[in-house]
Amino acid sequence: MADTEHTQFKIAYTIARADMQHLFTALHARGYETIGPTVRDGVVVYDVVENVDELPAGWADEQEGGYYRLHPGNDGALFGYTTGPQAWKRYLFPPIMRMWQARRSDNGFEIVVEERTPPIYAFIGVRACELHAIQIQDRVFLDGPYVDAEYKRRRDNAFIVAVNCGRASGTCFCVSMGTGPAAGPGYDLALTEIVDQDTHCFIVDVGSEQGASILLDVPHRPATRAETERAAAIVEATAAHMGRTLETTGLKELLYRNFDHPQWDALAERCLTCGNCTLVCPTCFCHTLEDVTDLTGQTAERWRKADSCFNLSFSFISSGSVRASARSRYRQWMTHKLATWVDQFGTFGCVGCGRCITWCPVGIDITAAAATLREDDIGQPQVEPIHQMA
């Protein structure tokens, strides 16, 4: 894990495409399990990637509201796609995990605490928005009064190879959220891929001592001025071609004063309350706890499972579900992302990755929903959000 007080190393280096396997070898030699992008079932997923040849070479995605297609290209770029449906949270905050067991004993029962060997992950291909999403989850799981021990172990061990984006998808809006497309502090190494007619290489920024140490085992040379300028131009061009925009000025207040906007009814007519948007979102972390027993009654277990604020059961209390309607659940999700999250954690809960737009089966678009509120601000007086339920 890169130092929080990150020092930007000013010298950039160049790794030839032909030498990229050495990066994997260097990480494996230090005990890292390399997790990266690979193509499966027509999408880019994150999985164990042992070899550079398993990366999605030549694949590029096309994304719009409710639409994702991968197309083979001929440039051979290893990171020519943008983002897939999965986020790194599945490795740092597993969607299903046993917390502890209880076994019946002569005197009652005894708690068996889970003892796991924490995985040592190297994440390869972390985009700028995703790095911000990880740091937002750090605030939730590490910076509050209660630290999530399992998240901390996984996060402390993680080595991050970021990739600056060479293109934006139709649903990206990281520029609006100030989270990309250039990776900010928090990486160990950051790559910018250059694919030209006669060149295929990676310009590398070193973000930590661990990154510098790994780089020693990968053939590299100082980048030329032309290479660093080309890398900067690639990222600038990406920033200029965002698929979406979201105006964030006064956004929190805009949402707070529009709890009764008619748009919530219109969105509710479309929303299937499927929860896809929360599953794919790299910052969403809602979960539930389930207790189960075996048939003999000798053992009980407590499991943590990913949940969604779109599930009726998520807000169930003694008298029923607090948010019974699709209207209240969509409004809750969007208001949390763009308003109450700011009050809770000092940042938006959205990094502009666009996943919730792409993977919404009916193409509901958080940027369009925010724009509608801004265009038709009914300006009701601010109320305390915690009391807004139905």
Burial class of 188 by CB neighbour count within 10 A (0 to 12, 13 to 18, 19+): buried
Question: What is the three-class DSSP state of 245?
Answer: coil
Judged by CB under 6 A, which stretch of 12-20, 41-49, 72-80, 354-362 contacts ligand SF4?
354-362
Residue number with CB closer to ligand SF4 (166 or 352) = 352
Residue number with CB closer to ligand SF4 (204 or 351) = 351
350 counts as binding ligand SF4 under rule CB under 6 A: yes
Judged by CB under 6 A, which stretch of 8-16, 118-126, 311-319, 357-365 contacts ligand SF4?
357-365
Helix (H) or strand (E) holding 252: helix 251-256
Residue number with CB closer to ligand SF4 (204 or 284) = 284
Q: Which of residues 237-276 bind ligand SF4 (CB under 6 A)?
A: 271-276
Residue number with CB closer to ligand SF4 (175 or 281) = 281
Structure tokens at 303: 């499991």
Q: Enter the DSSP assignment of 116.
A: -
**Nearest-approach distance from CB 25 to ligand SF4, in angstroms:** 33
Q: Which of residues 11-70 bind ligand SF4 (CB under 6 A)?
A: none
CB-based contact 76:196 (threshold 8 Å): no
352 counts as binding ligand SF4 under rule CB under 6 A: yes
Q: Which residue has the tokens 């929360």?
A: 278
92 counts as binding ligand SF4 under rule CB under 6 A: no
Residue number with CB closer to ligand SF4 (256 or 330) = 330
Judged by CB under 6 A, which stretch of 55-63, 210-218, 279-287, 288-296 contacts ligand SF4?
279-287
Residue number with CB closer to ligand SF4 (194 or 277) = 277
80 counts as binding ligand SF4 under rule CB under 6 A: no
Closest Cα to residue 168, out of 367, 356, 352, 349? 352
Mode of pairing for the β-strands spanning 159-163 and 189-195:
parallel
CA distance 54 to 6: 31
Question: What is the three-class DSSP state of 34?
Answer: strand
CB-based contact 138:192 (threshold 8 Å): no
277 counts as binding ligand SF4 under rule CB under 6 A: yes
283 counts as binding ligand SF4 under rule CB under 6 A: yes
Neighbours of 382 (CB within 10 A): 11
What are the two backbone dihedrals, phi and then psi, of residue 232, each rounded to the nearest 5 degrees? -65, -40
Positions that interact with ligand SF4 (CB under 6 A) = 271-277, 280-283, 310, 330, 337, 350-356, 360-362, 364, 366
